[in-house]
Structure 1
């Protein structure tokens, strides 16, 4: 079984399209990290005099500084970011700012930021999965896994495999394990390159022990300020990576199942792009947001790969009288879908003989 898995893994990683995509996407990642933002440089020295508890003196100093120097997001964001952070998390701002859930109720802060610390490097690391990481994994998984079963049909080897001693189940298991190993290695590769780039870019990964709620994604967008989870920045980074990996593996299972149902790799690719890519393009890129399609956005497969929405704000659903958090309900649905997809993949490859 191990040798069979090794053989299937070698078939995946020796595809030229995978290497070309990896090279192109890693170059784009480096360009995005270096030029995608106006000034992601080490800003520790600007934050150092203001670190610690947010006091009235610091709030006043931040207001005076912003007024006197004409604060603008287009200017040096590391220098003025500390004043922006202090203003956002000052007691007055928190008191006067409210966010509402889908039912129109005011959301309560589980964790209130009361101190200022430099944690911008972590913000960029969290952002990469939310944006570029999803695109990277979708493309790499599609190119690597869409041909896994469809290629056997196109070459006419599917019938031969099924008639062999291990063809009905063990071949499918080997393909599944090899595919999941491929997904894991791609996530590790992308994560390692991303860490290296931002370590070199910032010179540090400061702020690892600061609250998640104080981390600014897109430099000054505090996406997690109402998050109900009491996690430090580095703890959430670990949670984000694990969740992203799990979502990528679920997507990989879906791609394999569609591949088992498709007569060619191209057909499998098109169907998978429609299933996962279209909702991502519509909701995340084009901001398509009609009320009737809200459930598609909330429970799409790309949501787990992107991660942010699952931990961003408190939300709950009533299912047969049982109150479930958004995170728990989403994980239950994905678990059921994954079991069904894997079962369907085994059954399809074992029983389907002819493709038209």
Structure 2
């Protein structure tokens, strides 16, 4: 991919879309479709691709404006104290704060950084390494028949648990940073830098494709802000999953059983989504699970709220709050189980 060609195109077409850019892009596309303009060279194909993206950005801008108008109409007819009014008002206010978010920006290196956070394959890769590294942490003490000796020592019932948890978090941190650093170096070498760091997240495509995952996202962040947020959430998700693995390692006292149960708890919600059972109670299972939390960036693709005591709570802070509480409870249970359980050799 010749970055110089796209940089030249960005000078002419870059930034938020305007009516003039959209009209010109559609005119160029019409000439190309009719055969009046050749498109055999790389430069011509790149230009045709950018014209198409500008036209798509214009359509997304119109969809956003239409959504704001529809919400304004709904607010005029809804009771101000109803839950529906609160939902519509929340979405309307978030969309109003967006400032021309659709356009053409050179952000392919950033797209590559997000490609390590979003896909299911990345979740599977990270979770497998966590499972392999953490399932033996407590279970091996029972397999090697050293648990009795550890529990009989002065600090064997508490401080050693703290040390193991800190070692597990250190393992996850080093693993996480190393993998993302390798990906950063790869993207830097591939694209020669990280242009478009201040572009709105609504322009984040899949490479240079038209698959704009965040085209109607109500969150008004720049790409670099969104990456730091997604990076932090994914690290928290890895730590939360690691605490779950440690808890199962204490409970089952067997590395293989802890491995398969942890893997099942991670994979079953994904299977529910794949076979189309994410309705009713299964909808909550498919939305609130470790794999969704680990795919941190996808939490912000669209406006999504849940009814909590009559108030709409955004999906990202809600799932973060739930797993923060769950992880705290599991951490307490690790201390409790390891300290008070009976060990039989």
TM-score of the pair, normalised by structure 2? 0.81
**Cα 1:133/1:212, change in 2 over 3 Å:** same
Residues paired across the two proteins, number? 310
Does residue 10 of structure 2 align to residue 47 of structure 1? yes
> Aligned partners of 1:287, 1:47: CA distance in 2, in Å?
42
**Contact 1:41/1:78, CA 8 A, preserved across alignment:** no
Q: Tell me, in whole angstroms, the C-alpha distance in 1 between the residues paired with 2:159 and 2:299.
A: 35
Are the equivalent residues in 1 in contact too, given 2:135–2:246 (CA < 8 A)?
A: yes
Q: Which whole-Å deviations, capped at 9, do the CAs of 1:98-128 have from their partners, x for residues lacking one?
A: 7799x9x996544242543221221221122
Distance 1:314 1:249, change over 3 A: same
* Within-5 A mapping of 1:222-237: 222-237=212-227
Q: CA deviation at 1:159?
A: 1.1
Aligned positions of 1:1-356 closer than 5 A: 43-70=6-33, 79-90=47-58, 93-96=60-63, 109-110=95-96, 111=98, 112-131=100-119, 132-217=121-206, 219-283=209-273, 286=274, 288-292=276-280, 293-354=282-343
Structure 1, 136-145 or 77-86: larger mean CA deviation = 77-86
Identify the residue that residue 80 of structure 2 maps to in structure 1: none
- 2:206 & 2:11 partners in 1: Cα distance? 20
Rounded to whole Å, the distance in 1 between the matches of 2:2 and 2:294 is: 25
Output the CA distance in 2 between the equivalents of 1:143 and 1:93.
44
Structure 1: give runs of 5+ residues left out of the alignment: 1-38
Q: Secondary structure at the match of 1:335?
A: helix
Classify 1:93/1:276 alpha carbon distance in 2 versus 1 (closer, same or farther; 3 Å): closer
Q: Gaps (5+ residues) in structure 2?
A: 35-40, 72-83
Distance change (3 Å), C-alpha of 1:267 and 1:47:
same
- Residues 272 and 41 (structure 1 numbering): CA distance in 2 closer, same or farther, change over 3 Å? farther
C-alpha RMSD over aligned residues: 2.8
Q: Is the 8 A contact 2:278 2:286 kept in 1?
A: no
| Structure label with greater radius of gyration | 2
* CA–CA separation in structure 2 for the residues paired with 1:350 and 1:40: 61
Cα distance change, pair 319–194 in 1 and its aligned pair in 2 (3 A): same
CA distance in 2, matches of 1:184, 1:129: 15
